[in-house]
Amino acid sequence: MITIESLLLISSILILLSIGIAKLFHNLGVPTLIIFIGIGMLAGSEGPGGIYFNDPILAQSIGIIALIIILFAGGLETKWSSVKNIVAPAAWLATAGVLFTAISLGLFISYIFNLSLLTGLLIASIISSTDAAAVFSILRSKNISLKGEIQPLLELESGSNDPMAVFLTIGIIQLILIPEKNIFDIILFFFFQMGLGAVIGFISGKLIVFLLNRLKFSYEGIYPVFLLSFIVITFVITAYFNGSGFLAVYILGIITANSLFVQKRGMIRFFDGLAWLSQIAMFVTLGLLVFPSELKTVIGVGLLISTFLMFIARPLSVFAILSFFKFNWREKVFVSWVGLRGAVPIVLATFPLIAGIPQADIIFNIVFFIVLTSAILQGWFLPSTAKLLKLNAPIIKTPRYPIEFNPIEGIDTELVDFIIPYNSKVAGKTLVEIGFPDDSRVVLIWRNERSIVPSGGTALEEGDALLILVNKNNINQIKEILSHTSSSKKGKEQEQKL
C-alpha cells in the first residue's frame, strides 16, 4: 500500500514536470493539455513511471472537481462588456450547435461502423463540446490575438457548451439503460436542468457578492476559502435538484466577475492559480487512466471520426447557426476550425465505463484518441489559419501594476485603468494641462512595459495606460477627456489619405 509521503512526492513531481515541460514547449504552440496528458501517460503503467492506475470512478471524481474550479475561473475572467454583444450567437452555438454536431456525427458513426443509433449518438455527445483554453494558450504562445468579436464568441461558447454535452451524454446513457424512457422525457429534462442551473447560478452570484461585501473577516485569506466553499455548495445544491451544476457554477463566475466586492483582485489571482492546478491534476490523471497500447486498435476509427467532426459536422453546425448573425465567411471558417476538444470529453468518456455500457472501454479509447488528434492537428495549424484568414492581430499586453485597490462599501472611489488612444488630444499634454476632475488622481502610468509614478508635469503619450483613482460619478467624464480625438491630427490623416 502506498504511503501518504510517497503519494505527495509523486504528485508534486508530476506537477513540477508538467509545469517545466509546458514552459519549455510554450513557444512551439503545443497545447498544454497534450503536455499534461503526455506526462500522465509516461508516468502510467505502460510508461517509464510504471504507476498502475485503473480507477475510472476516482478519475471521474477528480475531473468533476477540477471542472467546477475551471468553469468558475472561466466565468470569473469573462467581462460582460466584451461579450454582451455576442450572447445570442454564443448561446445558440453552445446549445443548438452542440446538439446539431452530436446528431450529425452520431448518424455518421452509427451508419459507417454499423452501430446502434444510440451508441453512435453517445460517442458523438461525449465529444460535442469544445475547449477555448487550448485555443487561446496556442495563440498567446505565438503573440496572436483575434480581430472583431471572434475571441469573445469563442470564449463564451466554449465556457457554456460543457453543460449541453454533459446533458446529452447522461440522457443517451439513460435511454440505453432504461428503454422505457422516451426522447420527450429527455427534452423536458433538458429545459428543466438548464433553466434551474441558470436560475440558481444567477441567484448564487448575487448572493455571494452581497455576502462578501457585508461580512467582515479578520483575515484576508478567509475570503477565497469562503468563496470556494460557496462555489461547491452551489454545484451540489443544483445537482441535487437535477439542475445543471456546471452551468450554475459558470454563471456564478460571470456574475461575480462583473460585480464589485472586497478582495476581488486577490481572489481572481487565487482562482487563476487554482484553475491551473486543477487542469494539471485532471489531465495527468486522465493520462494515467489510459493504456497507450489499446489506442493502436482505434487509430483507424478515431481518424475517420475526427475527420468528419473537423471538416463536416462542426462546420455545418457553425455555418447553419452563424448565418443568422453578422459574421463573414472567414470568421465562420475560423470558428469551425477552432472547435478543439479538451478535457470534458475524456471526463465524460468515464460515464459509460461507470454505468456499465457495453464496449465502454472501446468508447473511452476512441474519445481519448479523438481529443489528442483534435488538439494536435487543429491546434498546430491554428496560428497559420488565423493569418491565412486575415483574422490575426497583435496581442495587447495587459499592464502589470505594482499596486492594487480593494473597494470598500460606502466609498464611491474606484481604481480604474484607461488607455490613451491614438490621435487623442491629450497626447503630449501634461497632467496639469488636461484638467481632470478634482476628486480624480493619476497614480501610475504604464508605458513601454514599465511603470511611471507621475507628477503634474508628466506628459502623456499615445498608448499610455493610466491607473486613475476616480470617483465613480466621474468615470464617463474622464473617458470623454481621454478619448476625444485631436482635430488637427484628424486633418493631417485626411490630407495623407487624399
List beta partners, residue 415: 469
User: For position 141, what pLDDT does the model report?
Assistant: 61
User: For position 64, what pLDDT does the model report?
Assistant: 92
Label the pairing between strands 441-447 and 465-471: antiparallel
User: For position 135, what pLDDT does the model report?
Assistant: 66
pLDDT in tens, 82-107: 788 889 999 999 999 999 999 999 99
Instruction: Give dist(CA 302, CA 109) in Å, integer.
Output: 10
Evaluate whether 243 touches 197 at the Cβ level (below 8 Å).
yes
- Asked whether the predicted pLDDT for residue 494 surpasses 50, the reply is no
Evaluate whether 122 touches 105 at the Cβ level (below 8 Å).
no
Q: For the chain, give me the number of helices (H) and strands (E)?
A: 25, 6
- Asked whether the predicted pLDDT for residue 26 surpasses 80, the reply is no
The backbone torsions φ and ψ at residue 452, rounded to the nearest 5 degrees and listed phi first, read: -125, 130
Label the pairing between strands 441-447 and 392-394: unpaired
Confidence of residue 496 (pLDDT cuts 50, 70, 90): very low
* Positions of E strands within 309-463: 392-394, 413-419, 441-447, 450-452
DSSP 8-state code for residue 313: I
In this prediction, residues 3-32 reach a mean pLDDT of: 82
Label the pairing between strands 450-452 and 441-447: antiparallel
- Asked whether the predicted pLDDT for residue 301 surpasses 70, the reply is yes
More confident of the two residues 392 and 127: 127
Give CA separation, 185 vs 94, 175, 178, 317, in Å: 21, 10, 12, 25
Instruction: Give dist(CA 453, CA 11) in Å, integer.
Output: 44
Instruction: Give dist(CA 97, CA 157) in Å, integer.
Output: 10
Instruction: Give dist(CA 226, CA 194) in Å, integer.
Output: 26
Evaluate whether 260 touches 206 at the Cβ level (below 8 Å).
no
- Asked whether the predicted pLDDT for residue 459 surpasses 80, the reply is yes
pLDDT in tens, 163-183: 899 999 999 999 999 888 777
Question: What pTM, to 2 d.p., does this model score?
Answer: 0.80
User: For position 493, what pLDDT does the model report?
Assistant: 42
User: For position 116, what pLDDT does the model report?
Assistant: 92
Q: What is the b/e burial string over 329-348, where b = at least 16 CB atoms within 10 angstroms of the residue's CB? A: ebbbbbbbbbbbbbbbbbbb
- Asked whether the predicted pLDDT for residue 329 surpasses 90, the reply is yes
Scanning the structure block, which residue is given the C-alpha cell 479538451? 342
User: For position 217, what pLDDT does the model report?
Assistant: 85
Confidence of residue 397 (pLDDT cuts 50, 70, 90): low
More confident of the two residues 160 and 414: 160
Confidence of residue 491 (pLDDT cuts 50, 70, 90): very low
In this prediction, residues 265-279 reach a mean pLDDT of: 88
Least confident interval from 130-144, 271-285, 427-441? 130-144
Look at the chain and count its residues. 498
Domains defined along the chain, listed by start = 14-394 (1.20.1530.20), 413-497 (3.30.70.1450)
Instruction: Give dist(CA 434, CA 442) in Å, integer.
Output: 11
